[in-house]
Amino acid sequence: MNDAVVVGSGPNGLSAAIVLAQAGLKVVVFEANDSPGGGVRSAGLTLPGFTHDVCSAVYPFGIASPFWSTLPLQSHGLEWMQPDVMVAHPLDDGSAAITRRSLEETAAGLGRDASAYKKMIGAVVRDWPRISRAVLGPPAIPRHPFALARFGMHALRSMQGLAASRFREPRTQALLAGIAAHGMMPLDKALTAGIGLTLGALSHVGGWPVARGGGQRITDALIAHLRSLGGDVVTSTRVTNIEELPPAKVVMCDLSPRPLLRIAGHRLPASYRRALERYRYGNMGVFKVDWALSAPIPWTSPECRRAGTLHLGGSAKEIAASERATWDGRVPDRPFVVLSQPTIVDPSRAPAGKHTAWGYCHVPAGSTADMLDRVERQIERFAPGFRDVVLARAVTTPAELEARNANLVGGDIAAGVTDLGQFFTRPTWRNYTTPVDGLYLCSASTPPGVGVHGMCGYWAAKLALARLLRLRHA
Ligand SMILES: Cc1cc2nc3c(=O)[nH]c(=O)nc-3n(C[C@H](O)[C@H](O)[C@H](O)COP(=O)(O)OP(=O)(O)OC[C@H]3O[C@@H](n4cnc5c(N)ncnc54)[C@H](O)[C@@H]3O)c2cc1C
């Protein structure tokens, strides 16, 4: 008999499985897809010889994950590859605002904002060892209340408000707007500053790396480690009803509320079911494109050519307007685009001399709009001639994202909006536990939420172990 069953093999499901297996439990993970990893997989989506990241591609959270840094993932083949420029934000004058690994060098490129950047982002970088478990954890009494309060007073603000009050250069404001826009919320909303400050600081903590060979290598390393602890992963097994699962003391669901309700709704009390039904998925989804390229992207700015990740959207004002329009259900003509060009540091993903690119834009949740031309126009805006180097493209719509992974309702890659109203109560005030003994949630719909870090799984499994121990001693 298994001691624990995990439904779903995303980074949180695998992390939960590892924590349980480390404690000596016999663990099996069931995955609906024929390949494991959820949001952390790679595949040949375009032409022979090209490898693409199916979902996530860039790992500032992964390299900084307090849990993963304790695991021997490197000895299971994981290798982080760091670009010279972490984030580049091209502007219409042909220049770019950038972050590098070095805080000093980044600040030096921001003109009159150099000292403001060093002060504000530098404080988060310095405090990171003290605040990381709180930022990447459930609501709890903080171990370092002063450091957390220092972060919180800025983090709770909107990025638009923070940038306007603390920074003077339009290029700095644009850079921060692009980083904060990863939160998939309008930039005048509370907490968007926290997203920008955290991701901005991570440029200088562990960088924004890619994984050599593709994100799949992260999943492969997690699974290899799980197997070394006696656990297993079974793919092509969709759980449609928790009654089908083999008996186990712990059932850990790497699911967002809607798919959880589908497989376990009948076992849940009505009040908890209603709470899960009230959970809010984001107003924004994602329209994704992968490209096989004959050459590197011909960015006008030389710094963009050395960047792992690029944010395409122009000025802070323009990004704020397009994010607001998208949130309100309108399809923007010039959408905010996130782009990664992994082959500038990892040539193993394409035939010699060739390249890949990965990108997405925000769209209203569930939108059926074809954004390909608009996404490519945003790239052409800063890299004229881009279309001439495209050999092939693969498009993924919000509906396709959801069809491949039931957690991503409407193509919401965050599995639930991360605004103030839902930040501490993901997906309910119970966070990881449910009213059913032994049934837990560990997906990105629990704290700390979206991102490839495994911390939702870590905390959920720690809680399950503590409860098992209490039962044993009761
Ligand atoms: C297009 C895209 C781009 C992204 N880019 C980044 C990025 O660059 N960096 C970053 O840090 N994050 C990124 N993310 C977010 C990140 O991938 C997610 O936050 C993360 O994968 C969430 O992990 P998880 O374990 O909670 O769930 P998931 O990764 O969603 O995994 C859940 C798993 O459960 C399986 N499952 C669902 N229902 C069942 C069932 N009934 N039975 C069995 N299995 C089931 C699914 O098939 C899936 O494999 C991106 C996400 C997407 C979709």
What does the pLDDT average to over 324-335?
97
Q: What is the pLDDT of residues 334-348, one digit of tens each?
A: 999 999 999 999 999
Measured from the Cα of 340, ligand 1's closest atom is 8
What's the 38 CA to ligand 1 centre distance in angstroms?
A: 4
Average per-residue pLDDT in the chain?
Answer: 97
Q: State if residue 225 touches ligand 1 by the CB under 6 angstroms criterion.
A: no
pLDDT of res. 470: 86
Ligand 1, atom 1: closest residue by C-alpha: 55
What does the pLDDT average to over 417-435?
94
Measured from the Cα of 456, ligand 1's closest atom is 26
Question: How far is 196 from 184, CA to CA, in rounded Å?
Answer: 11
Q: State if residue 401 touches ligand 1 by the CB under 6 angstroms criterion.
A: yes
Question: Residue with structure tokens 């700015």?
Answer: 301
Distances (CA, A) of 465 to 3, 25, 32, 228, 458: 11, 9, 25, 20, 11
pLDDT of res. 474: 74
CB-CB contact of 10 with 40 (8 Å): yes
- Of 462, 17, 56, nearest in space to 286 by CA: 56
pLDDT over 90, % of the chain? 96
pLDDT of res. 130: 94
Q: State if residue 221 touches ligand 1 by the CB under 6 angstroms criterion.
A: no
Q: State if residue 413 touches ligand 1 by the CB under 6 angstroms criterion.
A: yes
Residue among 19, 34, 52, 55 to mutate when testing ligand 1 (max atoms within 8 A of CB): 55
What's the 215 CA to ligand 1 centre distance in angstroms?
A: 12
What does the pLDDT average to over 163-180?
97
pLDDT at position 1 over 70: no
pLDDT of res. 472: 80
Ligand 1, atom 5: closest residue by C-alpha: 56
pLDDT at position 209 over 90: yes
What's the 302 CA to ligand 1 centre distance in angstroms?
A: 33
pLDDT of res. 473: 79
Q: What is the pLDDT of residues 12-67, one digit of tens each?
A: 999 999 999 999 999 999 999 999 999 999 999 999 999 999 999 999 999 999 99
What does the pLDDT average to over 71-76?
98
What's the 329 CA to ligand 1 centre distance in angstroms?
A: 24
What does the pLDDT average to over 204-226?
98
Q: What is the pLDDT of residues 298-311, one digit of tens each?
A: 999 999 999 999 99
Ligand 1, atom 10: closest residue by C-alpha: 451
What's the 92 CA to ligand 1 centre distance in angstroms?
A: 34
What does the pLDDT average to over 229-248?
97
What's the 79 CA to ligand 1 centre distance in angstroms?
A: 21
pLDDT band at 139; cut points 50, 70, 90: confident
- When mean pLDDT is compared over 135-144, 145-154, 178-187, the highest value belongs to 178-187
Measured from the Cα of 12, ligand 1's closest atom is 25
pLDDT band at 218; cut points 50, 70, 90: very high
Q: What is the pLDDT of residues 275-299, one digit of tens each?
A: 999 999 999 999 999 999 999 999 9
pLDDT of res. 275: 97
Ligand 1, atom 18: closest residue by C-alpha: 451
